[in-house]
């Protein structure tokens, strides 16, 4: 799953290419929107909301108020947006493209998007209205995020952090790394986490620092050294104490199962 910092970066890239520009060509390569044509309309904003990306397209002048569209995408596992100069050769095969948006000079291509839909901007809430406070949003609300996390004290902290209704933007990397940095195992019940407000503050700080880095890095170590303390490091030595990192599946059911990693010495 993507992390909110990746989506933030994708939005910045798309904003630089599309914002304020008139679309000269749109090509939606998903059946439900195959006949939709938004050419002639203007991109009015590009907004990340947690792990969701919203490209708002304004109505043409004669279409009236409130008739704008929002192109909603979610990267899921493999999705990526790439920007090209018009006519430039794509770096990924065309059959992986789900949507193509062109302006007079640039073309944005969404490859392998896990989700792509177009909805009236007026009903955006149906897509992102369920999200908790957005860690990278202008309206970040740490108190509300904390209250949401503590509303189910029995839930393992990693799963609580991943639930986008509690707070929006964290994926599995952050859920594991934040648990390490705060010194508790990822399966610790949320209600037993000491200083949960410091967990929320650290989540905000860590993802904010990383949104502007080309490569996510939680350890602060230089290139060539591990970027993560525990995520994906099963069997490797803990960077702090040398103990072998352990991993296990957490949660039940197809949508609520996650891999977790931890250091049995550093995390209690």
- For 228, half-sphere exposure in the C-beta direction (CA atoms, 13 angstrom radius) is 21
Tokens coding 190: 């949320």
**Which of residues 53, 218, 238, 250 is near Zn ion by CB under 5 A?**
238
SS3 for 15?
helix
56 is catalytic: no
Tell the smallest beta-carbon distance from residue 114 to Zn ion (Å): 34
Per CB under 5 A, which region of 90-98, 192-200, 210-218, 260-268 contacts Zn ion? 260-268
Count other Cβ atoms within 10 Å, centred on residue 221.
Answer: 13
Half-sphere exposure of 47 (CA within 13 A, CB side): 16
Rounded CA-CA distance 190/158 in Å is: 9
Question: Tokens 């909603």 correspond to what residue?
Answer: 72
Of residues 111 and 261, the one with the C-beta less far from Zn ion? 261
Smallest distance from Zn ion to CB 180, Å: 8
According to the binding rule CB under 5 A, does residue 241 interact with Zn ion? Answer: yes
Nearer to Zn ion, 33 or 180 (CB): 180
Tokens of 197: 């407000």
Verify binding: residue 265, Zn ion, rule CB under 5 A: yes
Active-site choice (49, 51, 227, 233): 51
Beta-carbon contacts of 97 under 8 Å, excluding residues fewer than 6 positions away, are: 29, 90, 109, 110, 111
Q: Which of 240, 244, 248, 257 binds Zn ion (CB under 5 A)?
A: 240
266 scored as a contact of Zn ion (CB under 5 A): yes
Question: Is 63 or 237 the residue whose CB approaches Zn ion more closely?
Answer: 237
CA distance 85 to 121: 28
Q: Which is nearer to Zn ion, 28 or 180 (CB)?
A: 180
Catalytic residue list? 2-3, 51, 258
Binding positions for Zn ion, rule: CB under 5 A? 238, 240-241, 243, 263, 265-266
């Amino acid at each position: 799953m993507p992390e909110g910092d990746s989506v933030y970066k994708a939005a910045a890239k798309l904003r630089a290419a599309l914002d304020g520009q008139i679309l000269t060509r749109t090509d939606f390569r998903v059946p439900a929107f195959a006949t939709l044509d938004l050419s002639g309309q203007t991109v009015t904003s590009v907004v990340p909301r947690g792990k969701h990306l919203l490209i708002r397209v304004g109505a043409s002048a004669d279409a009236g108020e409130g008739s704008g569209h929002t192109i909603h995408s979610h990267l899921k596992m493999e999705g990526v947006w790439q920007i090209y100069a018009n006519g430039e050769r794509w770096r990924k095969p065309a059959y992986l493209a789900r949507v193509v948006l062109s302006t007079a000079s640039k073309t944005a291509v969404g490859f392998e998007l896990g989700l792509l839909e177009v909805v009236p901007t007026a009903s955006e809430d149906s897509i992102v209205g369920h999200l908790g406070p957005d860690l990278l949003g202008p309206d970040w609300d740490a108190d509300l995020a904390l209250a949401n996390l503590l509303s189910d004290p029995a839930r393992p902290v990693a799963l609580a952090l991943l639930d986008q209704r509690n707070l929006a933007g964290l994926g599995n990397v952050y859920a594991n790394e934040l648990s390490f940095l705060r010194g508790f195992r990822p399966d610790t019940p949320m209600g037993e986490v000491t200083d949960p407000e410091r967990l929320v503050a650290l989540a905000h700080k860590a993802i904010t620092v990383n949104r502007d880095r080309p490569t996510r890095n939680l350890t602060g170590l230089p290139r060539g050294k591990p970027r993560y303390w525990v995520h994906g490091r099963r069997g490797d030595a803990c960077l702090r104490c040398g103990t072998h990192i352990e991993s296990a599946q957490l949660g039940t059911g197809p949508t609520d199962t996650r891999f977790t990693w931890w250091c049995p010495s550093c995390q209690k």
